[in-house]
Chain A
Amino acid sequence: MEIPYYPGCTLKIKAMALDQSTVAAFGALGVSLKELPRWTCCGAVYPLTAKKIAGLAAPIRILREAKMMGSDTVVTACAFCYNVLKRANKDFTADPLRKKRINAYLADDVRVDETTGEKIREWPEYAGAEDVKVLHLLEFLRDRIGFHKIPVKKPLRGLRVAPYYGCTLLRPAKEIGLDDPERPTIMHDLLRSLGAEPIDFPFLNECCASFLSLTEPERALRPSYLIMSSAEAEGAQAIAVSCPLCYYNMEARQLEIRERYPDFKGMPVFYFTELLALGLGVTLDQAIGWKEHSVDVRRLLESAGLIDKGDAAPSQGPCRAKEEEPGRARPRGAAPVDAA
């Protein structure tokens, strides 16, 4: 099965682990994710200015690209991109005038024919949801493959993972419609089908602080702390996410969180696709984005029997060293912690 795949910018820079594990895991499932030949940023945050066309042009251009690949579906792994693409598609479909204007605007794009090098100005009209549906990979797994049909090779037995959904995967519920925004179960179900034990915890849909990490990095620590300590209190050993920003707030900044809140013992954070890849028996270096894990994940994977003690696992990201010498190094990308 081939399916158009929109990775999004972050997956090519900061969240390569998500991209790499996604492609590897779906490869193991027999699904070939075909990256769109041309794509741009989706806009990252859904434009709330109603009726404006420029904000929707980027996501609609991406969806048109999927249509040109001859598919009625495009999948994405990033929760933010999913949120933007799905809502853009919905609003575009519902408003005929806006649809017409965006199509007229996008008709001016210039396309270069790959074989002849000729510049072409002809584009198909994009009709909306009837042309292309936007699916998150969790949704694709649930609705198109079926969790129970995933051929698990290495069950994640004994691994207690707290599925963390965050905001953009679930809300606004009427537009996204992936799952119940207050009691989501889709990631629970996936983890269960992989043999892991999903740990329900009350903060699974609380905000991780999102972009506050950039504007007020100090304040942004508390929400992530509350989420992870709540999962820890319920007995989770790790957290699973689908959003690079949640991952950043909880994983890359975890040392800062531990410095600020010493009662928090620390917890590995995984992209759900990493766990999927592990379960499907993908090789360790393909399944896990070692360089992006600042928190030690090896010990946990060993204890769950997913890595043999003797196995050479690739070294982790820079944070690991810092964990051994607390107070000196600091996590990648995090704001400097005042030495005083």
Chain B
Amino acid sequence: MKRIGVFVCHCGINIAGTVDVKKVVETLKGYSGIVHAEDYMFVCSEPGQALIRDTIKQKQLDAIVVAACSPSLHEATFRRVAQDAGLNPYQCEMANIREQCSWVHQADKEGATQKAVRIVRSLVEAVRYNEDLEPITVPVTRRAVVVGAGIAGIKAALDIADAGHEVLLIERNPSIGGRMIQLSETFPTLDCSQCILTPKMVAASRHPKIKILTYHEVVEISGFVGNFKVKLLKKPRYVKEGTCNLCNKCIEVCPVVVPSEFDMGLAWRKAIYLPFPQAVPSVFTLDEKSCLGLDPIRCGKCAEVCTPKAIDFDMGPEVFEVEAGAVVVATGFDLYPMSKLGEYGGEKYEDVINGLEFERILSASGPTGGQVRRPSDGRVPKDVVFIQCAGSRDPENHMPYCSKICCMYTAKHAMLYKHRVHDGNAHVFYIDVRTGGKDFEEFYQRAVEEDRVNYIRGKVSKVFKQGDKIVVWGVDTLSGKKVEVKADLVVLALPLVPSAGTEELFRKLRLSTNKHGFIQEAHPKLRPVEHPNSGFYLAGVAQGPKDIPEAVAQASGAAGKVGALFSAAELLREPTTAEVNDLCDGCAFCVDPCPVQAVTLVEYARDGEMKKKVEVNQALCLGCGVCMATCPKKGIAVRNFTADRFLSMVDAMLTD
């Protein structure tokens, strides 16, 4: 029988304040197989680890159970201690008597103590069944796929590439640049967004290690960390990259005019277009949705005038597969739909616009060349109302969360407006002004004090049109008075939401999100750039609302994690995977339920007879145990998670 040692941690008063640890140790001493049991103040401390190491050697222990916190925190610590003392690391188990016992039973010390004994006993049973296991090694493909080429994706791609690894930068739009390329100036320094982003875009396009795939979409990602297979869809842009010389002749003859996505619908583009002058790659795209049917008989004017013959109506979508070792998800954001803000006249009045539309109006490359003019009649607005939290922090009707960047960009909007319209008035309705960031508070104070922006603390109740004015009704909660502003233009600071289509993409990639669709990080504080599914990394607003500096920092963090992953010669995988034994008769019940298609049915000949049996691909298997649950004959089991082990654990838990 295995000689088992148990170490019970006080964790200060976290455990010992509720669980009588001395009593737990005394009760366990007689339990079958336990040759050593003791308690210690902080087992995870250096002396605590030394204690375990020494005891294993002195008492010639075969296995240990550490009764302390959750294995997600310290299992790795104690398995290394066991290994240092000469044991196989899988001969160490943790009994969670903190999160699952002392913290939740503070009112019942007696009961908590009994429960702690049961938890430890069941882990003693578990470790009794544990076999020595060696990690599985797999090769790693040193190529990263970055999904989304906004500032976060570009920055992640550059950092990974600078570390010497290949990067595929995938973007579904015709150009890289994302949302940031649409912005006018950036807070808190008021430097021009395009001026600081375009050098990065050019750097990405020139980088020998980066391959930019615009107008591409991710269809599917299979495999596992270090060994992903990424299926990509290349959408036809009907213009040959490299052949098109940007002569503009096609744009001149194209008869189709549609709202420009880049200008948020405030300007027009043709069906064949370059989204903006600095687009990367610099190639025209023919939008098949608005083109007159891609039918040379119906139109084909662009192809007629194209001197280099770059237009090819016969292009079709292509699906292809690439291998990658890591995936960075940087899919960005959209704004919450204006149409849902009926109370503010969203999408009903032309002069009620959203923050991104105002960015385009302010932008030197925008539809008004940077002059502030309102969309309806092109007049210069003399009174502009900015409504903050127009949908954010509103759990009753819209989104409960804070979109984080709106306080700052509204201050910036109001400031830029005042700089351009000196006799204009900017009014900002706000709940609070949140300026958590370096130099942010000073920026906001500058808007209030130097630029005389009229900040009104209160919500807006109604926005409606009266003549050519937009009347805004609100309340000033500091004076307790109702406020009416007859405005010329109203700008709504709408919530940031995950960009359109990502919900479906994340579901296909099995990437968990929070309930608003922002992708989940592995730990909210300690692993903010990784997804729980190993090999997936996060950057930018796809993970949650954040400003440019934060998105860039997160992108660099993700790139650092990818670099660390790629620095290993080969990857180690948990050996707790499914194993097939002789009881398997090839009924194949387990084949279909396997979520990663790791189980296959094979035929073989024995004694002149054809037999069937399943096989598990150890590199793919996640050790989830679904196959075990379907097997009627105990013919397949996850290593160290066998049915006998679980039954013994349950018995130990239930026995008084």
Contacts and interface: CB of A to CB of B under 8 A. Distances in A.
Contacts of A230: 464
B151 to A, nearest CB: 35
Which of A182, A203, A230, A233 lies at the interface centre, i.e. has the most chain B CB atoms within 10 A of its CB? Answer: A182
Nearest to A173: B397
A233 B348 CA distance: 18
Interface string B456-479: 000000101110000000000000
A183 B342 contact: yes
Contacts of B466: 202, 233
B342 A202 contact: no
Nearest to B461: A206
Main DSSP-derived SS at the B contact region: mixed
Interface in B362-396: none
Contact of B464 (A180, A181, A203): A203
Contacts of B345: 202
Nearest to B467: A233
Interface residues of A, number: 9
B651 interface: no
Interface in A177-191: 180-183
Contact of A180 (B342, B462, B465): B342
Nearest to A183: B342
Contacts of A180: 342
B304 interface: no
B115 to A, nearest CB: 33
Interface in B339-367: 341-343, 345, 348
A178 to B, nearest CB: 15
B343 A202 contact: no
Contacts of B341: 182
Interface string B307-341: 00000000000000000000000000000000001
Contacts of B348: 183
Contacts of A182: 341-343
Nearest to B349: A202
Nearest to A181: B342
Contacts of B462: 202, 206
A230 B473 CA distance: 15
A180 B343 CA distance: 11
B385 to A, nearest CB: 16
Nearest to A201: B464
A91 B260 CA distance: 48
Nearest to B345: A202
A230 B471 CA distance: 12
A206 B466 CA distance: 15
B387 to A, nearest CB: 15
A181 B348 CA distance: 15
A202 B342 CA distance: 10
A233 B466 CA distance: 9
A206 B471 CA distance: 15
A181 B396 CA distance: 13
A327 to B, nearest CB: 31
A182 B347 CA distance: 12
Interface string A232-276: 010000000000000000000000000000000000000000000
A202 B465 CA distance: 7
A180 B348 CA distance: 14
A202 B463 CA distance: 8
Contacts of A183: 342, 348
B447 to A, nearest CB: 30
B525 to A, nearest CB: 35
A236 B328 CA distance: 57
Interface in A154-202: 180-183, 202
Interface in A46-94: none
Contacts of B342: 180-183
Contacts of A206: 462
Contacts of A181: 342
Nearest to A200: B348
B337 to A, nearest CB: 13
A223 to B, nearest CB: 13
A72 to B, nearest CB: 31
A230 B466 CA distance: 9
A203 B464 CA distance: 8
A321 B345 CA distance: 41
B570 to A, nearest CB: 55
A262 to B, nearest CB: 19
A182 B463 CA distance: 11
Nearest to B465: A202
A216 to B, nearest CB: 17
A180 to B, nearest CB: 6
3 residue pairs, one from A and one from B, having the closest CB atoms: A182-B342, A202-B464, A183-B342
16 contacts: A180-B342, A181-B342, A182-B341, A182-B342, A182-B343, A183-B342, A183-B348, A202-B345, A202-B462, A202-B464, A202-B465, A202-B466, A203-B464, A206-B462, A230-B464, A233-B466
Interface of B: 341-343, 345, 348, 462, 464-466
